């Protein structure tokens, strides 16, 4: 349900695929990122009809983190039709993540 993004597939999956996309920026060494991983997976399963879910490992793909000026992780950027429309910085609860998605799903 959650796709890994890199510089090769980002444009196709985010910019060329219409709709709402949640993209989580994270790293293996980040405690809050590891804590949020199952919450993000559960949101992807529950909200897959409202949004596409993807993630970027900032250690593997630092270019994308730099491009979107991600300075703290975890960060979830919400893209709609290729444009960033909202973001959430820091670990979030299932409810907070669902509210973020539902604000823009229409």
Instruction: Choose which CATH entry (3.40.1310.30, 3.40.30.10, 3.90.1150.10, 3.40.50.140) describes domain 2-104.
Output: 3.40.30.10
- Strand pairing of 52-57 and 83-89? unpaired
**Confidence (pLDDT) at 105:** 83
Measure Cα distances from 38 to 2, 30, 58, 92, 106 in Å: 11, 14, 18, 11, 25
Catalytic residues: 30, 33
Domain ranges of the chain: 2-104
Quick one: 103 exposed, middle or buried, by C-beta within 10 A (0-12, 13-18, 19+)?
A: exposed
In sequence order, the β-bridge partners of residue 23 are: 54, 77
Q: The whole model's pTM is what?
A: 0.93
Per-residue pLDDT at 106 exceeds 80: no
Return the pLDDT at 17.
87
């Amino acid at each position: 349900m959650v796709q890994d993004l890199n510089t090769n597939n980002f444009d196709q999956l985010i910019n060329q695929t219409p709709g709402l996309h949640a993209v989580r920026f994270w790293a293996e060494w980040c405690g809050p990122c590891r804590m949020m991983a199952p919450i993000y997976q559960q949101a992807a399963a529950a909200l897959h009809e409202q949004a596409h879910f993807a993630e970027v490992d900032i250690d593997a793909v630092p270019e994308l983190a730099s491009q979107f000026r991600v300075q703290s992780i975890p960060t979830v950027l919400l893209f709609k039709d290729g444009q960033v429309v909202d973001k959430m910085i820091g670990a979030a609860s299932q409810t907070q993540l669902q509210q973020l998605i539902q604000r823009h799903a229409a």
